[in-house]
Amino acid sequence: MTRHLIDIYADFQNTWKLIKTERDGETKYRTIIHNFTDYFYCGEDRLNDLLTNDIIDSQIIKFEKVNKKVLFYEGVVYKIFLKGIWSKYKIISALNKNLKNIFEIDIDAPMRYTIDNIKKIEKTNYRTLYFDIETDDNDIPF
């Protein structure tokens, strides 16, 4: 039976590497993945906010328009590619947690890699459930 485990660690230059750990019985295999870039999505109405903020813009490698459907959002969507593991946290902080029309920024790099690249996971005894819920409480007075 083979299990796929994903781990992540930062290096000294604010970049990161993913480590894929596989176990076959008692034997453990580790592979360093160098060619993965983390990303999230944003609506067209927020793209200018990201690019005109120096802190945020410094964390972005590139962006591209994508054909992606997002629940409760009808506009154009952009995929934002990031420089490193700390980029998402810096962006959230710089936006003062105003994440309206910012999508999937809460998916960490190991989960993003798994979603994009692991097509089959061997059955284990684990019972884990994940789901990503986008919320917006900007219009609710407190």
In a domain, 21, yes or no: yes
Q: What's residue 87's pLDDT?
A: 87
Cβ distance 41 to 103 under 8 Å? yes
pLDDT in tens, 14-72: 466 777 777 776 778 888 877 888 999 999 999 999 999 999 999 999 999 999 999 89
* Judgement on whether residues 49 and 104 belong to the same structural domain of the protein: yes
Number of domains present in the structure of the chain: 2
Quick check: 122 pLDDT over 70?
no
* Judgement on whether residues 98 and 67 belong to the same structural domain of the protein: yes
* Judgement on whether residues 48 and 97 belong to the same structural domain of the protein: yes
* Judgement on whether residues 8 and 65 belong to the same structural domain of the protein: no
Question: Range of 76's domain?
Answer: 39-117
Q: What's residue 127's pLDDT?
A: 64
**Rounded to an integer, what distance in angstroms lies between the CA atom of residue 139 and that of residue 142?**
10
